[in-house]
Structure 1
Amino acid sequence: MTSQSSQYPIFCASFNQDNSGFAISTKDGFKIFDSNTGRLCYERAVGAFVIVEMLYSTSLLAIVGAGEQPSLSPRRLCLFNTTTGIALRELNFLTSILAVRLNKKRIVVVLQEKVYIYDSNTLAILDTIDTVANTKGLCALSPCLDGCFLALPASTIKGSVLVYNVMELNSHCEIDAHRAPLAAIALSSNGMYIATASEQGTIIRVHLVSDATKSYSFRRGTYPSTIFSLSFGPSAQLPDILVATSSSGSIHVFSLGFAIHQRSRRSSSFLGSILPDSVNDVLDPAHHHVLHNAVPAGVKSYIVVRNVDKSSTEIEACRATLSVVTYDGYFLEYVVNVNNQNVSEWSLEREFNLLTAMSGEEQNFQFV
């Protein structure tokens, strides 16, 4: 996730594919952290970067400069080895790179009106996709190779999503998710589900990728708000939860398993059976847990679900660990417990300043 605004000390922030590590960039360089301990694993002070993407916990990084010096052009993608400190390969483009996504088989480079797909091992270009104007560089790539999908905006006037299979190199489907243009996209780790939010930010929808007509809707709030990030919980099948951060400073948790269980019960009822899906979808209860003032209002943030522990007796009950990076320079770890009555309790377990972190040392977390 990239910030083009100089109002933030952090230029970009990203978690790796299993959320075990994350990277940030400042005006001076970039840093790699361990999500579990907060240890600063690597740093390089060579100037500002707008993109720093990890490939799991390997030594490979995909980095793009902020353009503040000739060697750090925003049109150049550098594949960098943190062990040797050497650039393995550089790829140059005609326009600025807005996003890069990686998995073990594919590298995806997003420009404003074009997307390039490369083989991760040979760097051979496999396909190019002409897109609508994507000024924010919105995209999502699933790390799972069995359901390896890329999601991109398909319209500039409404919230349509193009889902592209990057292994088979063909368009899978197009989903009309919202009336307003998209603001955020996320794919589940297995590529089965896609979550979207529009620029209005009041409704978040989840679609099953294999069946673009079925969706589940969650109301974030009544008043418009910018959705900064969306993230599914880790799961081999149905993710247990979906989380979001917004410009209101709140963290939102949506209980997917509980909502879908309730939808199944409702659809078997008389009223649910006679209503069309478009109306039935509106009846979905929120199953929405919110923590207000979790981060400073208006400050950009990036959230992921690091872990979900489910109850052994009730499938809808869970304990989730959430990691948040705020662009004013902080890491926060929240735990939310959702009981079998769908009531939640929140706690801030720890936080630390990313800007003052010292290399090789575990952070002295502030326990709250």
Structure 2
Amino acid sequence: MANQSSPYPILCASFNQDNSGFAISTKDGFKIIDSNTGRLCYDRAVGAFIIVEMLYSSSLLAIVGAGEQPSLSPRRLCLFNTTTGAPLREMNFLTSILAVRLNRKRLVVVLQEKTYIYDSNSLSMLDTIDTVPNLKGLCAFSPSLEGCFLALPASTAKGAVLVYNVMELQLHCEIDAHRSPLAAIALSSNGKYIATASEQGTIIRIHLVSEATKSYSFRRGTCSSTIFSLSFAPSLQLPDILVATSSSGSVHIFSLGFETNQRTKKSGSFLGSILPYYVNDALDPAHHHVLHNAVSAGVRSYAVVRKVDNVADSSSSEIASCRNMPSLSTARTSLHGVWSVNSTLWQSFQVMQKPHDTFNGRTSIKRSCCNT
């Protein structure tokens, strides 16, 4: 665990594509920190930045100023080389830049009503997407070149999301995920799944991107809460862990890897035969774990799963049982007043994929292929 203190409030915090590092920015400048060790990798005191995005662990950064200095306009994107300490290229836009995403082939710049897609190498513009007013710059991006998708809000009245194939430069699908407007979006690193949460913050839904069908529905809680971040565990196969942070101060971990034969066995039991399917699911807490009071309530936080180790559980008679041991990293930011940041918070826990395991916290899991 590493502790970093700053006399300035945190303006932004972001993890890189494989969660091996993260960046934080204050009015004084920005820092790059190694997620594995908490070691400070780079520190530059040049002014306030509202966006600092890394390209994996390379020397390339995409940075946007906060506008407190004429040279750090929020309408200017600077591609910065940390090795030389000099800008590689600057790109100016008509309105403020709200979000930036990139991988080794594509650079995405999100404005309030437009999104631009560039070739990362030549920086030539490839496409422009007209969007609904996106005041918060809400977006999600999967860095995999095989499943490289961009997700943007498709409506300001409901929780509809637009999924765009960034490599093929064409619309892939539109998903009606929630009745209320979107508050958070996340794509798995391989582009197979998209997770969404609405402004109510009680339900988190996961859709299969290829078919635009709902695969999972998780209940975070019964009271409304602002979802600050959603993040899938890094995986080359199907992701099996989703982590969410909210204004309640708790971190929620959901397991996507439960076996269908376990669900079939449960639904065929006496209890399953007399209870509705969704009620039967609500009684199974084995796929939802809560880290209570992980951060102070109301503090904006971002959590990612660094890795998941699957270990066979010999203590169980269930053939399908396994033990997931994720390593979790949480970056916390505060936009008001002087703040001391505990830059990396490590938490280890176990998520048992068998019917009889129980954890603190309630859960409701529903598997469906229809939108509600």
TM-score (norm 2): 0.85
Residues 54-89 of structure 1, C-alpha deviation per residue, up to 9 Å, x if partnerless? Answer: 000000000000000100000000000000011000
Shift of 1:293: 0.7
Query: Aligned-pair distance for 1:336?
Result: 1.4
RCO higher in 1 or 2 (8 Å CA, sep ≥ 6)?
2
* 8 Å CA contact retained: 2:205, 2:214: no
Question: What is the alpha-carbon distance in structure 2 between the residues aligned to residue 71 and residue 311 of structure 1?
Answer: 52
- The answer on 1:74 being equivalent to 2:86 is no
Matches within 5 A, 1:235-254: 235-254=235-254
Q: Decide which of 325, 330, 337 is 2:331's aligned counterpart.
A: 325
Q: Is the 8 A contact 1:217 1:282 kept in 2?
A: no
| Counterparts of 2:261 and 2:114, CA distance in 1 | 40
Contact 1:309 1:319 in 2 (8 A): yes
Tell me which residue corresponds to 1:360: none
Which moves more between the two structures, 107-116 or 261-270?
A: 261-270
Question: Is residue 2:351 matched to residue 1:338?
Answer: yes
**Contact 1:10/1:25 (<8 A) preserved:** yes
In structure 2, the gaps of 5 or more residues are 1-6, 314-319, 335-340, 362-372
CA contact (8 A) 1:216 1:284 kept: no
User: d(CA) in 2 for partners of 1:178 and 1:243?
Assistant: 19
Distance of 1:270 and 1:127 partners within structure 2: 56
Q: Is the 8 A contact 2:161 2:176 kept in 1?
A: yes
| Matched-pair contact (CA < 8 Å) for 1:141–1:151 | yes
1:135-146 correspondence to structure 2 within 5 Å: 135-146=135-146
Change (3 A) 1:123 1:248: same
1:182-220 residue CA offsets vs partner (Å, 9 max, x unmatched):
000000010000000000000000100011123310000
Deviations 1:293-340 (Å, cap 9, x if unpaired)?
Answer: 110000000000001111224555211111001114222111111234
Structure 1 residues 118 and 280, CA gap change in structure 2 (3 angstroms): farther
Structure 2 CA distance, aligned partners of 1:225 and 1:72? 34
Contact 2:290 2:360 in 1 (8 A): no
Distance 2:329 2:185 in 1: 18
Q: CA deviation at 1:237?
A: 1.8
Q: Is the 8 A contact 1:200 1:225 kept in 2?
A: yes
Is structure 2 residue 304 aligned with structure 1 residue 292?
no
Residues 142 and 27 of structure 1, relative CA distance in 2, 3 Å threshold: same
Return the letter of the residue paired with 2:347: Y
1:29–1:45: 8 Å Cα contact kept in structure 2? yes
Partner of 1:212 in structure 2? 212
Give the structure-1-normalised TM-score.
Answer: 0.86
Unaligned runs of 5+ in 1: 1-6, 274-278, 347-368
Root mean square deviation, CA, Å: 2.5
Deviation of 1:161 after TM superposition, in Å, equals 0.5
Shift of 1:343: 3.6
Partner of 2:301 in structure 1? 301
For 2:130 and 2:87, locate their aligned partners in 1 and report how far apart those are by CA, in whole Å.
29
Is this contact kept in 1: 2:272–2:280, CA < 8 A? Answer: no
Alignment CA distance shift 1:343-1:111 (3 Å): same
Contact map agreement 2:312 2:322 (CA 8 A) in 1 = no
How far 1:280 moved relative to its partner? 6.1
Q: 1 CA distance for matches of 2:260 and 2:43?
A: 43
Q: Distance in 2 between matches of 1:204 and 1:53?
A: 26
- How far, CA to CA, are the matches of 1:21 and 1:294 in structure 2? 20
Asked if the contact 2:10/2:25 (under 8 Å) is kept, the reply is yes
Q: Using the alignment, how far apart are the partners of 2:190 and 2:328 within structure 1?
A: 19
CA distance in 2, matches of 1:269, 1:168: 47
Separation of aligned partners in 2, 1:65 and 1:320: 35
| Number of positions where the alignment pairs a residue of Structure 1 with one of Structure 2 | 336
- Which runs of structure 2 are paired with 1:53-92 in the superposition (5 Å)? 53-92=53-92
Structure 1 residue identity aligned to 2:351: V
